[in-house]
């Protein structure tokens, strides 16, 4: 049947569903630039039932796929809701709301000023020259914290706040991993797959400025801003200037600080500057204020946030699984339609 006469005998939506079911793998030609030619398409053979039956099939498929579309749209909303849920959990955690019930069952043995004094004393004992910091007062519009908490600048919590090498290195085929923003944004954690390498001698020179170690924190500071990853490996590596490194004075705070840096309260302070590509200046990062809870409560916060995030991760996995099942259901529905099994037979 000629293509120009199809509309007289075929419901065009029936043709659409037929071709959607059939696929085009056997008529695609070319490798570098795959294509379907008019001549190949004209040779495609399909079964055409009477027009009335076509209309009936199309109406049934429209109904079924309408339901499938609605379900798919609901599933597509879940990732956005998940991100909002994560942000809400972190906001509650670092305002003290997530552990409000926990504090009610424990007496306050210290207030925020005492906590801050302890933190600053620890910093003075362990500071490095490059970690010098200025006195501070939290702005009046900052969120109120529980009485036992304190706002503390990053520089007071870290022995060093620095960034990576400022020049593009000479890459080699194999050597010491060299990380950029992409290695922190390609997935959860620090992704070493696909990273570039530098020579051991270059690495030894680079780490004189910035030496990433287990328990440190990496933060993206150029382009994509504020992605935070804790270093949980003993594999040596170097970093580019696009990454900042924060060395906590107290390594037991690493998990807490990783979450705190990701909270809305701290993310809102990481404002980029510059035209075009945005940057976070190290001097600004050092002054950013972190909500700090007493040590025992910090552990409870980490436990509760990780528990909530584990639930969210399961929800995301189930969403992905449901979407894949929906794809298979759509294909199964088409297959059933074109086997003539879409409608129940009369008894």
Beta strands 238-239; 228-230: pairing state? unpaired
pLDDT category of residue 115 using cuts at 50, 70 and 90: confident
Instruction: Check: CB of residue 195 under 8 Å from CB of residue 214.
Output: no
pTM: 0.73
Q: Phi/psi at 346 (nearest 5 deg)?
A: -65, 140
Q: Report, as an integer, the average pLDDT of 179-197.
A: 92
User: What pLDDT was estimated at residue 345?
Assistant: 53
More confident site: 123 or 153: 153
- pLDDT at residue number 130: 44
Best mean pLDDT range from 24-33, 115-124, 243-252: 243-252
Q: Give 3-62 pLDDT, tens digit per residue.
A: 555 566 777 787 777 777 766 666 666 666 676 677 766 666 777 778 888 788 888 888
> In the structure encoding, which two tokens stand for residue 211, read together?
């030496």
* 40-49, 106-115, 140-149, 185-194: range with highest mean pLDDT: 185-194
pLDDT of residue 123: 65
Q: List the CATH code of the domain at 111-293.
A: 3.90.220.20
With 80 as the cut, is the pLDDT of residue 265 above it?
yes
Least confident of 41-55, 71-85, 313-327: 41-55
What does the alpha-carbon distance between residue 49 and residue 203 come to, in Å, rounded to a whole number?
71
Residue-level pLDDT at 106: 82
Least confident of 57-66, 94-103, 191-200: 57-66
Q: Is the pLDDT of residue 186 over 70?
A: yes
Has residue 187 got a pLDDT over 60?
A: yes
Does the structure show a pLDDT above 50 at 347?
Answer: no
What confidence score (pLDDT) does residue 12 get?
A: 78
- Looking at residues 202-210, what average pLDDT do you find? 94
Which position has the token pair 């909002």? Answer: 84
State the pLDDT confidence band at 214, using cuts at 50, 70 and 90: very high
First to last CA, the chain: 36
Helical residues (DSSP H) of 94-174, grouped into ranges: 100-104, 112-126, 154-157
| Percent share of the chain, pLDDT over 70 | 84
Residue 280 has pLDDT above 80, yes or no: yes
Average pLDDT over residues 240-249: 95
Residue 93's pLDDT is 96
Residue 191 and residue 210: Cα distance in Å, rounded? 19
pLDDT at 243 over 90: yes
The residues facing 197 across adjacent strands are 172, 177
Range of lowest pLDDT (70-74, 138-142, 207-211, 335-339)? 138-142
* Ranges of each domain in the chain: 111-293
Confidence of residue 131 (pLDDT cuts 50, 70, 90): very low
DSSP string covering 289-327, please? EEEE--HHHHHHHHHHHHHHHHHHHHHHHHHHHHHHHHH
pLDDT of residue 129: 46
pLDDT band at 283 (very low <50, low <70, confident <90, very high): very high
Tell me, letter by letter, the H, E, C secondary structure of 201-270: HHHHHHCCCCCCCCCCEEEECECCCCCEEECCCCCCCEEECCEEEEEECCHHHHHHHHHHHHCHHHHCCC
Question: So what's the pLDDT on residue 13?
Answer: 80
**CB atoms closer than 10 angstroms to residue 212:** 23
Average pLDDT over every residue of 225-233: 96
């Amino acid at each position: 049947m000629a293509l120009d006469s199809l509309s007289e005998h075929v419901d065009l939506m029936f043709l659409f569903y037929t071709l959607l079911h059939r696929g085009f793998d056997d008529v695609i030609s070319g490798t570098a630039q795959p294509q379907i030619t008019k001549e190949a398409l004209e040779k495609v053979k399909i079964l055409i039932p009477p027009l009335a039956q076509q209309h009936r099939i199309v109406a049934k498929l429209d109904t079924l796929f309408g339901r499938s579309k609605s379900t798919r749209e609901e599933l597509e909303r879940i990732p956005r809701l998940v991100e909002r849920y994560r942000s809400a959990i972190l906001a509650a955690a670092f305002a003290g709301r997530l552990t409000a019930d926990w504090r009610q069952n424990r007496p306050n043995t210290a207030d925020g000023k005492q906590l801050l004094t302890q933190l600053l004393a620890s910093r003075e004992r362990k500071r490095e020259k490059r970690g010098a910091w200025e006195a501070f007062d939290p702005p009046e519009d900052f969120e109120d914290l529980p009485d036992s908490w304190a706002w503390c600048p990053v520089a007071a919590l870290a022995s060093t706040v620095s960034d990576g090498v400022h020049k593009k290195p000479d890459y080699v085929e194999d050597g010491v991993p060299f990380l950029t923003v992409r290695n922190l944004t390609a997935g959860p954690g620090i992704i070493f797959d696909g990273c570039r390498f530098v020579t051991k001698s270059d690495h030894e020179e680079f780490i004189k400025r910035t030496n990433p170690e287990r328990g440190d924190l990496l933060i993206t500071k150029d382009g994509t801003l504020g992605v935070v990853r804790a270093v949980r490996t003993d594999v040596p590596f170097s970093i580019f200037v696009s990454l900042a490194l924060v060395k906590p004075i107290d390594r037991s705070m690493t998990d807490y600080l990783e979450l705190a840096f990701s909270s809305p309260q701290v993310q809102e302070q990481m404002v980029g500057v510059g035209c075009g590509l945005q940057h976070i200046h190290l001097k600004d990062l050092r002054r950013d204020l972190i909500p700090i809870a007493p040590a025992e409560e910090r552990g409870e916060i980490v436990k509760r946030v990780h528990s909530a995030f584990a639930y969210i991760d399961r929800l995301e996995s189930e969403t992905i699984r449901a979407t894949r099942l929906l794809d298979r259901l759509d294909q199964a529905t088409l297959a059933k339609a074109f086997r003539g099994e879409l409608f129940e037979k009369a008894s």
